[in-house]
Structure 1
Amino acid sequence: MAWETGMDWQGWQESWDRQQEWYLPDREERFRVMLDSVAAHAGDRPRVLDLACGTGSITRRLLERFPGAAGTGVDLDPALLTIARGTFEGDERVTFVQADLTGADWPAALPYASYDAVVTATALHWLPEEPLRTLYGQLAGVLRPGGVFLNADHMPDPSTPRINAAHEAFEKARQEREKAEGVLDWAGWWREVAAAPELADAARERFALLGDPADGHDGEDHYHAPDWHARVLRESGFAEARTAWASLTDALVLALR
């Protein structure tokens, strides 16, 4: 496989992080709060499911902070999984699984029957409401009693239009400055992936499955406020759920099984 050829997978990880930080300048802060919550509820040797794991950004930070942890990453995207598998090749603490989270049987592909924590970031807004409700119910069955679920994502509040507009203008100006300095956006990053020999085949497979971001075909976003997520998680079998962190556009919702 491509990840066995000595490619610069760490370089791809770093370029992914830079591209994501262009959209999310407080990305590391939400990861810190997320891992603090894992520690509070699951200790320093947790078994963690990284849902819609992408290149393994959360798993990498998890293992740096908790060397005794065990991680499973699940994603459908073959290109991002190629980078993830290359990055973690030889690390027996990590397993990656390609699966469709809208399917009924994806938990059967996991290497463990239950997890201490499930984490995800900037991913579940791609799911329409009913598939997301179904997924939340499935996660209640994947977590052990007392386990924790953490979802960091875009969760805007439509009740504050003037605040939202001012923040959007501020962020747009920042992004324009950084893009002028050479930072890649989502579509630009994927153009580089498609042009890289080590990722070209996986990129073509990705585009066939999920669309080509460079052409503007990359799925539809479905946003909900944090209170909606907390309510649906409680309805799906979680004992408690609340916002653990928030910015003006994003939030981290924590739910306890």
Structure 2
Amino acid sequence: MTTYLKNAAIWQESWDAQQEAFMPDREHRFAAMLTAVAAVTDGRAPRLLDLAGGTGTISLRTLARFPGAEVTVLDQDPVLLTIAEGSLHDRAVIVGADLGDPGWRAKLPHEGFDAVLTATALHWLPAERTAALYAEVREVLRPGGVFVNADHMADEGLSELSGLLQDRARVEREARYASGAATSWADWWARAAADEQLAAKAVERQQIYPTGHSEDFNPPVGWHVEALRAAGFRESGVLWRGGTDAAVIGLR
């Protein structure tokens, strides 16, 4: 019998609050992503892959909007996957896999997904691996399925304004941390490591990322659109934008 994380919903709430300090419009991108899923499935419950899904943020919102959805969460982080498993229980398949390894697809329970969604995660991968991953994702989609990646993707035509927007967001974020309105990234992970239930998973995580994640790769949105086209998607473009963040979509 599986023993689930106690207070998983509280940890989920804590993660959401920490992430929203970075992205106040976080829910807007999720809503746009799921509207695209509804469009390609004509509203029926989708078969969906939550790629680099962490705590299952997208999966939880998918199941709230499409109660009959068939959801798979794939991630490498043992702390976040423990929270996902505790939050989702038997409503999703949980898969541990490294997207830096082209063999990640072999760990999926099936292919033929209606949609593959990911948010604020793939920037940890280098350019050449991201481009290759886009082609791999296309192969797990059914014809007519969609892939959406929401991340930090500035508009290349607005470099000066993008810098100003990033500076303003940084000031507001630091003010939230200083007031106690939000927990910083570093503080959240310190609290997880100190938790009796998550401490062992935090040790596993340290072994996976001994020096932390690699340097961010945050090219402008045009790079992603072109990479999707090069990966074989028959259509690609910008689905959503909020400041210096955007969601790009590819239609197989």
Matched residue, 1:117: 115
The alpha-carbon deviation at position 169 of structure 1 amounts to 2.9
Matched residue, 2:21: 22
Contact persistence 1:85–1:96 (CA under 8 A): yes
The alpha-carbon deviation at position 5 of structure 1 amounts to 5.1
The partner residue of 2:218 within 220, 223, 226 is 223
Structure 1 letter corresponding to 2:99: L
Alignment of 1:110-149 (within 5 A): 110-149=108-147
Structure 2 letter corresponding to 1:60: L
The alpha-carbon deviation at position 151 of structure 1 amounts to 0.4
What is the number of equivalent residue pairs in this alignment? 250
Is 1:153 paired with 2:148?
no
Please give the per-residue CA displacement for 1:194-213, whole angstroms capped at 9, x wherever unaligned: 0001000001111110246x
Q: 2:23, 2:54 → 1: CA distance?
A: 16
Structure 2 unaligned runs (5+)?
none
Q: 2:163, 2:224 → 1: CA distance?
A: 23
The alpha-carbon deviation at position 219 of structure 1 amounts to 2.2
Please give the per-residue CA displacement for 1:103-153, whole angstroms capped at 9, x wherever unaligned: 122111111122000000000111101111111111111000000001000
| Residues 163 and 62 (structure 1), Cα distance of their counterparts in 2 relative to 1, 3 Å cut | same
Structure 1 letter corresponding to 2:121: A
Please give the per-residue CA displacement for 1:36-60, whole angstroms capped at 9, x wherever unaligned: 1110112331000000000000000
Contact persistence 1:126–1:220 (CA under 8 A): yes
| Residues 6 and 113 (structure 1), Cα distance of their counterparts in 2 relative to 1, 3 Å cut | closer
The alpha-carbon deviation at position 158 of structure 1 amounts to 5.1
Is 1:167 paired with 2:165?
yes
- Stretch of structure 1 that moved more, 66-75 or 38-47: 38-47
Alignment of 1:16-55 (within 5 A): 16-42=15-41, 43-55=43-55
Structure 1 letter corresponding to 2:247: L
| Residues 226 and 165 (structure 1), Cα distance of their counterparts in 2 relative to 1, 3 Å cut | closer
Q: Structure 2 length normalisation: TM-score? A: 0.95
| Residues 186 and 140 (structure 1), Cα distance of their counterparts in 2 relative to 1, 3 Å cut | same
Contact persistence 2:156–2:222 (CA under 8 A): no
Q: 2:138, 2:61 → 1: CA distance?
A: 24
Contact persistence 1:211–1:219 (CA under 8 A): no
Structure 1 letter corresponding to 2:201: A
Q: Percent identity?
A: 46
RMSD of aligned residue pairs (Cα, Å): 1.5
Paired residue secondary structure (1:147): strand
The alpha-carbon deviation at position 166 of structure 1 amounts to 2.3
Structure 1 unaligned runs (5+)?
none
Structure 1 letter corresponding to 2:174: E
Matched residue, 2:247: 252
Paired residue secondary structure (1:146): strand
The partner residue of 2:174 within 169, 173, 176 is 176
Contact persistence 2:115–2:141 (CA under 8 A): yes
The alpha-carbon deviation at position 159 of structure 1 amounts to 4.6
The alpha-carbon deviation at position 160 of structure 1 amounts to 3.1
Matched residue, 2:106: 108
The alpha-carbon deviation at position 88 of structure 1 amounts to 1.3
Q: 2:106, 2:67 → 1: CA distance?
A: 26
Contact persistence 1:52–1:123 (CA under 8 A): yes
| Residues 125 and 191 (structure 1), Cα distance of their counterparts in 2 relative to 1, 3 Å cut | same
Structure 2 letter corresponding to 1:16: W
Contact persistence 1:52–1:75 (CA under 8 A): yes
Paired residue secondary structure (1:105): helix
Q: 2:225, 2:15 → 1: CA distance?
A: 29
Contact persistence 1:152–1:251 (CA under 8 A): yes
